[in-house]
Amino acid sequence: MSVEIRDPRFTAVVGEAVQFEQLGTGFMFTEGPLWHPGESYLLFSDMPGDHLRRWSSSGGVQTFRKPSNMSNGLAWDNEGRLLACEHASSQVTRTEADGRITVIASHYQGKELNSPNDIVVRRDGAIYFTDPTFGRMEYYGRKRDCELSFRGVYRVDPNTGALTLLADDFAQPNGLCFSADEQRLFVNDTERGHIRVFDIRPDGSLGNGRVWAEPKGEGRGAPDGMKIDSGGNLYCCGPGGIHVFAEDATCLGVIRTPEVAANFCWGDADLRSLFITASTSLYRIRLKTPGRA
């Protein structure tokens, strides 16, 4: 069974069923898929393999960067430059137009970040990212002690580059995404198994944090990658696959993936393809409602 339908609205968003197309396999642990709309290619990370790969319909899977400091979450900034969360270096970096790599964030109050994990960019250019400790564990990163006593959510100011701690009360913050109007920020907690939502204040800080939903069900997996489609539906990895929530936080159903899913993104010209990084493989499925670029 490719889908688990919990609410009739699911069929208009995803469909009555999905067909998984395996685009590549044999990887160690895939993460961080990112679609390039202008050039029609996908980037994705293989953290344990220390390998950042590129997929396109014409070229298949190729090396984009190796070594990659065990990169995880990826994003484009407002100038189209690549941002990468690096597990091995505990940094957020930006690849400049000439190929140089600039460090965007590495320390907070003189202490090394844990291991930046996932990242999003607001329309005003502000960068928000999560900083759990997964990249300081064996296999998913490089085992070493933490310098910080908490796992935080941060913002990088678009004008000054200043790093601000927004929240420090997560067990393991992971996936994050903005609401369609960018007035709220959703952040999930892998260890606690829930999704929180915050109001974004005029200065970019967060307030009024509260639990919004809990991805529940049968199968392996926990809250991880998370994004919102063009209809305002929130997708979040969880037990058994990718859980789809309506704007009112009702779980519409679950896309049951062949392997444990860590992350996903929309792509192809119509943004109706969902590219899924799931353990050792990269998959693609087709949906009814388009995603967001």
- Domains present along the chain, CATH in parentheses: 3-286 (2.120.10.30)
For residue 223, the one-letter residue type is: P
CA 247 to each of CA 174, 180, 235, 251, 257: distance values in angstroms, whole numbers, following the listed order: 20, 10, 11, 9, 23
Helices (H), the chain: 10-13
Residue whose C-alpha is closest to residue 253's, from 239, 266, 267, 265? 239
Residue 2 in contact with residue 18, Cβ under 8 Å? yes
Per-residue pLDDT for the chain (293 aa), expressed as one digit of tens each? 699 999 999 999 999 999 999 999 999 999 999 999 999 999 999 999 999 999 999 999 999 999 999 999 999 999 999 999 999 999 999 999 999 999 999 999 999 999 999 999 999 999 999 999 999 999 999 999 999 999 999 999 999 999 999 999 999 999 999 999 999 999 999 999 999 999 999 999 999 999 999 999 999 999 999 999 999 999 999 999 999 999 999 999 999 999 999 999 999 999 999 999 999 999 999 999 999 97
Residues near 73 by beta carbon (within 8 Å), at least 6 away in sequence? 31, 32, 45, 84, 85, 116, 117, 118, 119, 129, 263
The per-residue pLDDT for 1 is 65
CB neighbourhood size of 102 (10 A): 12
Return all residues near 264 (Cβ < 8 A) that are at least 6 apart. Answer: 33, 225, 227, 235, 237, 242, 274, 275, 276, 277
Report CA 115 to chain centroid distance, whole Å.
Answer: 14
pTM above 0.95, yes or no: yes
CA 14/CA 5 separation, integer angstroms: 10
Give the pLDDT of residue 293.
Answer: 79
Instruction: Please name the residue that has the structure tokens 């927004």.
Output: 166
Cβ atoms 229, 255 nearer than 8 A: no
Task: For residue 79, give the nearest of 189, 158, 183 by alpha carbon.
Answer: 158
